[in-house]
Amino acid sequence: MSRRPYALGVATAVALAIAIAAASTRGSPVPVGGIEFGDAASIVFFVAVAVGFAFYAAGLVALRRAGGRLATVCIIAAAIQLTPLGGPLLLSHDVYSYWAYARVTSRHDSNPYVVAPARFPSDPATRAVAPSWRETTSVYGPAFTALSIGVDKTTQSSETVALVFRTIAALAAIAATLLAAYIARRKPSLRHSSVGTPCSP
């Protein structure tokens, strides 16, 4: 069995770690709200992300051709999902919108599907939302809003809120990966068990 898929998977994780380290440096404009002190950090970040994606695509091709141990592949996939949690929130303010819609309900006793966060300009969640989205009402389902309310009630700062939502997203992606792996393992056995089974009259 070829080790190339594993090597490419590890290389993807390393490239991602380099990107996160670059984004975490002082003066990097990549994190949400980052103030740019120079171009070096952003250049390293985007080059590392591009290289990591190339490794990832090559790893998928190598895995399809050579196969690999499912447990090892899942471990590498989990590492890739968890690595960004070591760095700052990147590029998107969406997690703050989740927080703001939760607070519209739980702190201001209003309907987030009717009332936009901009109605409460002094709320810390509203201030964290990207300005262009503060006038937008929620587009997320009630179950997700209920989850967001739970996050709001158990956190104290925008940084903690962001980390909690990012962790939930990473764990959901890992769960989806494990589910796909489970289904992939069951398909051959189900197919083999059905061979030779007589059809019912």
pLDDT digits (tens, 9 = 90+) for 79-129: 988 988 888 888 788 899 999 999 999 999 999 999 999 999 999 999 999
Q: What are phi and psi for residue 31, nearest 5 degrees?
A: -65, 155
Which of these three, 91, 124, 148, is where a domain ends? 91
pTM over 0.85: no
Rounded CA-CA distance 159/94 in Å is 13
Three-state DSSP at 31 gives strand
Cβ contacts of 97 within 8 Å, gap of 6 or more: 117, 129, 130, 133, 136, 138
Question: Residue 86's CB: how many other CB atoms inside 10 A?
Answer: 11
Q: Does a structural domain hold residue 185?
A: no
22 and 43, same domain (yes or no): yes
Q: What share of the chain is helix, strand, coil (3-state, %, to 5)?
A: 70, 0, 30
Which of these three, 91, 125, 150, is where a domain ends? 91
58 and 26, same domain (yes or no): yes
For the chain, 201 residues long, give each residue's pLDDT as a single digit of tens.
578 888 999 999 999 999 999 888 887 777 776 666 667 888 898 999 999 999 999 988 988 887 778 888 888 889 988 988 888 888 788 899 999 999 999 999 999 999 999 999 999 999 999 888 999 999 999 999 999 999 999 887 888 999 999 999 999 999 998 898 888 777 655 555 554 544 444
Residue 18 belongs to what domain range?
A: 4-91
- Burial class of residue 101 (count of CB atoms within 10 Å of its CB; 0-12, 13-18, 19+): buried
71 and 147, same domain (yes or no): no
